[in-house]
Amino acid sequence: MAKIIPFKAVRPAPDKVGLVSCRMYDDYSPAELVALLEFNPYSFLHVIQPAYTNTQRITSDKRFKGVSHKYNDFKKENILIKEQTEMFYLYEIQSKHNTFTGIIAGTSIEDYQNNVIKKHEDTLQFRVELFKDYLHQTGFNTEPVLITYPDSTEINTFIAIHKKNRPIYEFSTTNKEKHTLWKIETETEINLLLDYFEKIPNLYIADGHHRSASAEMLYEQDKASGNPNLNYFMSFLIAESNVKIYEFNRVVRDLNGHTKEEFIKLLADNFIIKPKELELWQPKVKYEFGMYLDGEFYALEYKYKDNFSSDETENILKNLDAQILYDTVLNPILGIGDLRNDERIDYIPGKQAILSIKELIDEGEFEVGFMLYPSDINEIKLLADNNLIMPPKSTYIEPKFRSGLLVYEL
């Protein structure tokens, strides 16, 4: 059974929420960062990067202390305010093509350790330790872990009814999204949600494996302090049918010494190759791959797709398109062994237009690009249920939460 808790969030003053909340730091171009940090004194970016002009010249320890000081300044100036009571939140993001709605709550470290909350991605130890140190020194987190739950008629009905109430926030952002936040604060409503989630046997991490691993590491390090907030981490809980899963496409800088003709001949061992010339072609179904090479697009159909049986545990990982591409092309032909650290490969979220891959290759920075068909939630759950790990950069999952909208203090 999944355990969730309400919590006392810190959040922007209502008249400043549109100015305070921001996208994740890495989502901004350098020009956007300069503009926001110079002309918007309320942006939470000032907290995230309090010394943004010289971040390369200070230690992590000093930067984390600067984050903590700036965060406390925002609270002293009442830019951020703290709730007086514990509650859940209902949050909705509307974009041009999608609407995402879910519950913001604390989720249990114990559930994470006992595999009630399941994972499908590996983590890098240095990143987990770095973010653990960040949490320890700053004392807060504003980036919830995105967690899915099986679709529930009870929870759907609860959400539909609650959305009729007046929200505490309703604002639009410069990337043309509309954000709405409601409090879930009455004892009756809180108990209903607690009961609904207690009926759910497992939750699945969609995005935020490093954040959840860091929260667990911090708990193990500091649990002797008796701080109950360490027992939980903030999560955005959303029905599995409501997440949007994109692929991560791949671009490679060279053909590992092969000529174009040699490379295509090697591909033919595993793929039926169909030239698409200048058609902006991308996969329509699983086991199809797109390729852009030397000014032309190609469709690659995997020859041995019928060899897999998805109900056989040993084939679950091999059945993934990202794994097939690695096993048949990236590793044996292009000589890429380490998908995380090899500088010859880079990754483009499927949310970006296919033209971005074409432009990178036409400009000469990369020589070949591969387009994949996105995984679905059932593949992710199947891997997690069997304690298997997806290849790096297999999925790009939405929604993405805004920093500074809600803060979980430790």
Give the residue extent of every domain in the chain.
4-244+398-409, 246-394
Write down the pLDDT at residue 84.
96
What is the full DSSP assignment across 51-116?
Answer: TGGGGGGS-HHHHHHHHHHHHHHHHHTTSEEE-SS-BEEEEEEE-SS-EEEEEEEEEEHHHHHTTS
Instruction: Give the integer Cα–Cα distance in Å for 191 and 187.
Output: 6
Tens of pLDDT, residues 253-291: 999 999 999 999 999 999 999 999 999 999 999 999 999
4-244+398-409 against 246-394: fold identical = no
- What is the DSSP secondary-structure string of 228-252? GGGGEEEEEEEEGGG-EEEEEEEEE
CATH annotation of 4-244+398-409:
3.90.1530.10
Q: Give tens-digit pLDDT for 25-83.
A: 888 888 888 888 899 999 999 999 876 555 556 788 888 999 999 999 999 999 999 99
**Is residue 7 classed as helix, strand or coil in its secondary structure?**
strand
Q: pTM, whole model, 2 decimals?
A: 0.92
Residues 110-161: pLDDT tens digits?
Answer: 999 999 999 999 888 999 999 999 999 999 999 999 999 999 999 999 999 9
DSSP strand E in 254-327: where? Answer: 271-277, 288-293, 296-302
Contact 239, 157 (CB under 8 A): no
How far is the C-alpha of 384 from the C-alpha of 205, rounded, in Å? 9
User: Residue 63 — φ and ψ, nearest 5°?
Assistant: -65, -45
Domain 246-394 fold is 3.30.1760
